């Protein structure tokens, strides 16, 4: 997946986008659609870094007294209001190439100052983006079966991936703690799943429009399977992919809370299935400079650098990832 990251780096840039929609999807989650005259090619799994303090940077400008020949005089009180000084990373949730240019979708959950700023953007506002960043999911081989597993803010990249899997054999698992925190459109006339069912249904618009069925779970049982998404996934895999030849055709794609992803990788390994994981480690620069997003991965050859003699090394989630082979991750 390294060559993919290099290609992304060659195309990435800073862009000024215009907000064309920013509508609430459920409690705390918004679907932000940005219009650009042009944006480099993108793939599911890639992300953008969004400047959440206004494109002019005025919100973070502070004037200090700096006499010539001495250090600036700082009282420690210059920044009175918390300001999101660094960009915030968001996975792409969709892309449409139209006659007017490119539309990018971002689904964001309000958790702090940056996402609160984003939630207040209205049509016509400008948003500064850096991207596209990182590598991306690799589609399953011909005749393969894709199982997409997204939890919480890991659901958005699965929506983009599903749009590229139309016409192939795929199924989506989406989990949230409760129905109010599910950033998906449940179709009104579709059958409502029972709390013990793991039968995929065409009841989620974002996936059904691409011919892909879904299993929804909520931890509190307020919609769909009642319990953890990983429990629903285990039941499904053992019911529908019981034999080894069927299992070998499955690739599991996952993004969400780290505990969920670890369990998904473990389950894939136990069943002889491939897995690809998008690790949304906390990031600062998003471009391989600050080293804040390190993750431990298995090395193919222990004798080779980095860390010659060791069977693992650190990789950067922002440039070597965010997508890694599940079997390579040591977390
Ligand atoms: C590659 C990548 C893709 C992402 N995609 C999405 C997405 O599609 N939708 C979405 O809503 N969010 C996504 N996130 C998380 C998002 O970047 C953070 O929620 C956001 O930066 C928070 O900014 P803030 O200023 O609102 O919150 P802050 O005030 O900076 O932080 C609020 C709280 O959120 C925690 N937090 C911040 N970043 C992370 C993180 N990466 N993991 C866990 N906790 C974190 C902080 O520790 C703090 O407790 C993604 C993160 C990464 C690294
Ligand atoms: S976020 Fe800076 S190196 Fe990855």
| Ligand with an atom nearest the CA of residue 155 | 1
pLDDT at 3: 55
Closest CA to 297 of 323, 271, 274: 323
Q: Is the distance from the beta carbon of residue 304 to the nearest atom of ligand 2 less than 6 Å?
A: no
Mean pLDDT score, 177-204: 91
Q: Yes or no: is domain 2-57+84-133 CATH 3.40.630.40?
A: no
pLDDT at 61 over 70: no
Residues of the chain above pLDDT 90, percent: 80
Ligand 2 atom at minimum distance from 318 CA: 4
pLDDT at 68: 87
Which helix (H) or strand (E) covers residue 232, if one does?
A: helix 229-240
pLDDT at 284: 95
Mutate to test the pocket of ligand 2, among 5, 316, 321 (most ligand atoms within 8 A of CB): 316
Q: Which residues line ligand 1 (CB under 6 A)?
A: 47, 84, 88-91, 107-109, 111-115, 153, 156, 280-283, 322
| Ligand with an atom nearest the CA of residue 133 | 1
Cα separation of 50 and 228, whole Å? 31
Cα separation of 19 and 33, whole Å? 6
Contact between residue 290 and residue 281 where contact means Cβ atoms under 8 Å apart: no
**Cβ–Cβ contacts within 10 Å for residue 176, how many?**
27
Mean pLDDT score, 130-158: 97
Domain boundaries, the chain: 2-57+84-133, 145-280, 281-331
pLDDT at 56 over 50: no
- Enter the tokens of residue 77: 């009180």
| Ligand with an atom nearest the CA of residue 154 | 1
| Cα 189 to ligand 1 centroid, rounded to whole Å | 34
178 CB contacts (<8 Å, ≥6 apart)? Answer: 218, 219, 220, 222
Mean pLDDT score of the chain, rounded to an integer?
92
Place of tokens 């399953």: 140
pLDDT at 145: 97
Q: How confident is the model at residue 6 (pLDDT cuts 50, 70, 90)?
A: low
Cα separation of 254 and 265, whole Å? 9
Tell me the CA end-to-end span of the chain in Å, nearest whole number: 18
Cα separation of 93 and 159, whole Å? 6
**Cβ–Cβ contacts within 10 Å for residue 184, how many?**
24
pLDDT at 233 over 50: yes
| Cα 288 to ligand 2 centroid, rounded to whole Å | 4
Cα separation of 137 and 47, whole Å? 12
Cα separation of 31 and 26, whole Å? 10
pLDDT at 104 over 70: yes
Mutate to test the pocket of ligand 1, among 82, 84, 115, 135 (most ligand atoms within 8 A of CB): 115
| Cα 38 to ligand 2 centroid, rounded to whole Å | 26
> What is the domain class of 145-280 according to CATH?
alpha beta
Better-scored residue on pLDDT, 4 or 134: 134
3-state SS, residue 46: coil
Cα separation of 258 and 280, whole Å? 8
327 CB contacts (<8 Å, ≥6 apart)? Answer: 265, 269, 274, 275, 298
Mean pLDDT score, 45-64: 75
């Amino acid at each position: 997946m390294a060559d993919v990251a290099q290609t992304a780096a060659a195309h990435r840039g800073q862009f000024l986008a215009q907000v064309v929609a920013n509508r609430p999807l459920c409690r705390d989650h918004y679907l932000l659609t940005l219009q650009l005259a042009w944006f480099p090619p993108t793939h599911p799994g890639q992300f953008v870094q969004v400047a959440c303090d206004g494109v002019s940077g005025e919100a973070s400008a502070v004037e200090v007294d700096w006499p010539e020949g001495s250090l600036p005089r700082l009282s420690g009180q210059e920044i009175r209001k918390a300001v999101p000084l660094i960009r915030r990373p968001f996975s792409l949730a969709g892309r449409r190439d139209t006659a007017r240019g490119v539309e990018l979708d971002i689904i964001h959950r309000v958790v702090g100052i940056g996402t609160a700023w984003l939630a207040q953007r209205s049509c016509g506002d400008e948003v500064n983006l850096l991207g596209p960043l990182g590598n991306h999911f690799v589609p399953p081989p011909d005749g393969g079966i894709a199982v997409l597993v997204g939890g919480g803010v890991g659901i958005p990249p699965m929506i983009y991936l599903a749009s590229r899997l139309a016409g192939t054999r795929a199924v989506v698992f989406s989990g949230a703690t409760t129905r109010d925190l599910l950033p998906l459109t449940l179709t009104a006339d579709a059958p409502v799943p029972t709390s013990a069912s793991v039968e995929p249904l065409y009841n989620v618009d974002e996936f059904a429009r691409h011919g892909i069925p879904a299993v929804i779970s909520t931890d509190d049982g307020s919609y769909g399977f009642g319990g953890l998404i990983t429990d629903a996934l285990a039941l499904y895999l053992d019911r529908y992919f019981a034999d080894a030849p069927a299992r070998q055709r499955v690739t599991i794609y996952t993004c969400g809370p780290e505990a969920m992803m670890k369990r998904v990788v473990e389950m894939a390994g136990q069943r002889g299935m491939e897995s690809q994981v998008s690790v949304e480690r906390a990031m600062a620069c998003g471009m391989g400079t600050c080293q804040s997003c390190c993750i431990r991965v298995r090395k193919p050859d222990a004798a080779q650098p980095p860390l010659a003699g060791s069977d693992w090394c650190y990789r950067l989630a922002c440039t070597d990832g965010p997508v890694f082979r599940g079997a390579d991750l040591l977390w």
